[in-house]
Structure 1
């Protein structure tokens, strides 16, 4: 927390009569300001930003749309007057917030598939180019569940996104705080970037009463005012130590660059300058403690009670209207928010953006699971002969299971299982397929499993292959294990994701 201290004020307050500056008058103030001045020294080494970027999942959105029915795909594109495809605008009557959030993503994927090679490319990328329609349909729900979870994670990450600073932006903020944006101190330090007004002499800049200059705008201006003298006073070093030489200002500008090393001699240049959050925060708190107030004026440096002209009175900063009842205001200290932003960025880099890391990791896991699902597609055995009207009708139990399975996908055509359900476009509902009595709804009930088991049952272990798998002490249909495993993986992982 930023605090100002009164002990410094007691040290620097002088008697109420004009006293010319002496060597070392502002050594205490320079000690407090020095850490902030040194932040801009050297190359400013910065800890690298290791926060991961969210993985690119454009291909997965395209894959998801590829596996969807043609009826679904055509909802998101239309032809213009030149017979070129364009994105379909979301209907104004659409009430589903889920659809509104995903519409742009869906239209982008659907438009991409209008490229004649796009579908083939995405299927090949996921090793699905030789999979038949039935096998693609079998993994559709699993892939849609993973992609839906990826979308929600990406949306949450974007909503919680925090603006971050690049390395260059960090360094530029430090330079702006210290030197008004310049790389270092030079002969052209006067102007708005340094002290809020046009070039002027020390008396006008450091002893501000007219509101035309800002002597606390940058760290370098503070140092120039407290360590430099008026052009009429020579051979005095207010910040010490006494080594001879002159630190006086120009008649109408700040001290020349040649005098800067002597002005800051009590604050050596750091050749090995590494910026850290703790270091920047310490520099901020230290510099703020050099600021004190009396009445309605803000002060930095030794005030003799008469003035801050740096010649006949103290080499200090006097800023009228920037204190209230002796408490200094910091609104004009423009260097302060710049350095606070730097400290915040460095803290994020050093501790890591936990939320961003978590979401990026979860998306990578979902991508891996999607690739695992597509990789197992060739092990899926699909029924050769689907149920016909002549077969017995389904039992009420099977119908209930199918209804429960389908109803979970109301409002989500993309994830409505085509093997068990049909999607009502008008009502936006996923309903169970109307099956004949006694027959299992495709993919549900024991009947489907029993038929698949028949071709593997009784085979010895050596002959248990070609779609069959030896499990325990018997030969069983391998597609049952694949489908059950994929469904379980999708269900367990997606339910554990926190958005």
Structure 2
């Protein structure tokens, strides 16, 4: 789905019965042919469009991964191993409407938790942010700031998603398809060149006026290839008059004649294609597409019964100096100039300009949000180096291993891991059951016990203190609270 971008108003020039000139000069259609030649060059060349819509995901994910690395260990494990629901056999009840924001957040948490699943990954994320040697107090302060940045990143991503739905990035294939529709009258370029009936209805040796003049529904000339022959062929139907010489200003060698049958359409068109430039490499911009389309629109002239494109003198577009080399249609008039926008060869060009404008707007939106997210990421990952209250302390225990569980899991609390797949050596933990895969079976590896991590054990110093406390009890009534 994309916007329709307004094109310039069709110029209204009433020509009525007045001739364009007493005798049209050679090259009379040169200016009319220029924008058509541009579209032929697009069709016959290699078209490129700007497509630097880099993903915003990389910076966004990095912020969320750091946020998850500073989170509580149980919170990380929950999203690293989200519960799998088993579909009920009975017919389920009508589900409640989904909360899109919550659903999106959950997806983010699962993805971030996967990137912070082990102690090694967490420590690596903290090191990137300069927080690997931070104290417990510093990590708490960092956690609050990172949470704020993560929330800002999520809001920015939601805004980007909403705006992106209004426009889309088009593939070069879709763009080329529109060009082909306009120039050849079909989605793909014919192997042997433009042909009937896609480009034009059956031409004949004495049918130029029939083909190019008074096409009520535009069905006779269905492509720019056919239109170009109406304007540029040096021949006429009128034996009493002289044809306009080199109507489109092409060299004699690239001057087409009016085709006298099916095979001749491609042969005569190819002369113009060579003149316009075959095989050129083109970077097509919205500005060029819009300018070309508007030039064509504003080249139309109108009277009370028809719209004309090219040099019209009188009566019919037969290629002669007496009548003119042109194209006319009753599909539009001075009272209804908008009718030309529905011609089968012009409508695809208008759509092309709209598509390229939408494409360009999407890229601009992407760049804007990408810059904003890059700034948030830079702030987050420089937090340990730039913020005074996050700087590592000069003394005391530091580093991720000293962090409280709610801010850093580097000192893993093995009791938080309740599955044998998360209770791993990476977390300095060991699963002590050979039969169970879930439950309270995750214990610290030998030599890694850390009472501060919540293993439920006490230090030797703690045990000695406890013994001393009990030895001071003088009576049976005082010997309680863990004493024997």
TM-score (ref. length: structure 1): 0.55
In the alignment, the residues of structure 1 paired with residue 189 and residue 103 of structure 2 have an alpha-carbon distance, to the nearest angstrom, of: 52
Tell me, yes or no, if the aligned pair for 2:244 and 2:324 is still in contact at 8 Å: no
Residues 50-129 of structure 1: pairs in structure 2 closer than 5 A: 53-54=55-56, 56=58, 57-73=60-76, 76=79, 77-80=81-84, 99-110=102-113, 113=116, 118-119=121-122, 121-123=124-126, 125-126=128-129, 128=131
Task: Name the SS of the counterpart of 1:316 in structure 2.
Answer: strand
Aligned to 1:4: 11
Contact 1:176-1:338 at 8 Å conserved across structures: no
Deviations 1:457-487 (A, max 9, x none): xxxxxxxxxxxxxxxxxxxxxxxxxxxxxxx
CA apart distance, 1:224: 1.3
CA distance in 2, matches of 1:199, 1:270: 28
In 2, Cα distance between the equivalents of 1:357 and 1:212?
A: 42
1:150 to 146, 149, 153: 153
Question: 1:32 is matched with which residue?
Answer: 32
Note the C-alpha offset of 1:6.
1.0
Tell me: CA distance 1:10–1:159, structure 2 relative to 1, closer, same or farther (3 Å): farther
Q: Which residue of 1 aligns with 2:232?
A: 227
Q: Per-residue deviation at 1:160?
A: 1.7
TM-superposition CA deviations, 1:327-372 (whole Å, max 9, x none) = 36122222431452376379769xx83x544432222121111112
Contact 1:224 1:254 in 2 (8 A): no
RMSD of aligned Cα (Å): 5.0
Match of 1:372 among 364, 382, 396: 382
Flag the 1:383–1:262 CA change in 2: closer, same or farther, 3 A.
closer
Equivalent positions of 1:444-459 (< 5 A) are none
Aligned residues of 1:308 and 1:317 also touching (Cα < 8 A): yes
Distance between the aligned counterparts of 1:174 and 1:101, measured in 2? 39
Q: Which runs of 5+ in 1 are unaligned?
A: 16-21, 83-90, 385-413, 416-499
1:213 to 216, 219, 230: 219
SS of match in other structure, 1:369: helix
Query: 1:31: how far off?
Result: 1.1
The whole-number CA distance in structure 1 between the counterparts of 2:278 and 2:85 is 69
Stretches of structure 2 that go unaligned for 5 or more consecutive residues are 1-7, 87-94, 398-405, 408-484
Q: Which has the higher contact order (CA 8 A, sep 6+)?
A: 2
Partner of 1:289: 298
SS at match of 2:302: strand
2: CA distance between counterparts of 1:93 and 1:31? Answer: 60
How has the CA–CA distance of structure 1 residues 233 and 293 changed in structure 2, closer, same or farther, with 3 Å as cutoff?
same
Residues 140, 227 of structure 1: alpha-carbon distance in 2 compared, 3 angstrom cutoff? same
Q: Please tell me whether the aligned partners of residues 46 and 280 of structure 2 are also in contact (alpha carbons under 8 angstroms).
A: no
- Indicate the residue corresponding to 2:464 in structure 1: none
Residue number among 154, 160, 169 corresponding to 1:164 in the alignment: 169
Counterparts of 1:247 and 1:43 in 2: how far apart (Å)? 24
- The Cα offsets for residues 161-213 of structure 1, whole Å up to 9 and x where unpaired, read as 33234667656644553445799898530246535xx6555556434657582
Q: Aligned equivalents of 1:10 and 1:264: distance in 2?
A: 36
- 1:319 equivalent to 2:329? Answer yes
CA-CA distance at 1:316 after TM superposition = 3.1
Partner Cα separation in structure 2 for residue 100 and residue 182 of structure 1: 40
Distance in structure 1 (CA, Å) of the matches to 2:141 and 2:187: 63
- Secondary structure in 2 aligned to 1:379? coil
Deviation at 1:121, TM superposition (A): 4.9
**1:247 CA displacement:** 0.8
Q: Partner of 1:163: helix, strand, or coil?
A: coil
Indicate how the Cα distance of structure 1 residues 23 and 184 shifts in structure 2: closer, same or farther if over 3 A, else same.
Answer: farther
The correspondence for 1:344, drawn from 330, 353, 357, is 357
Partners of 1:298 and 1:322 within 8 A in 2: yes
SS of 2:350's partner is helix
Instruction: Please give the alpha-carbon distance, in whole angstroms, between the structure 2 residues aligned to 1:115 and 1:144.
Output: 20
Structure 2 CA distance, aligned partners of 1:207 and 1:307?
6
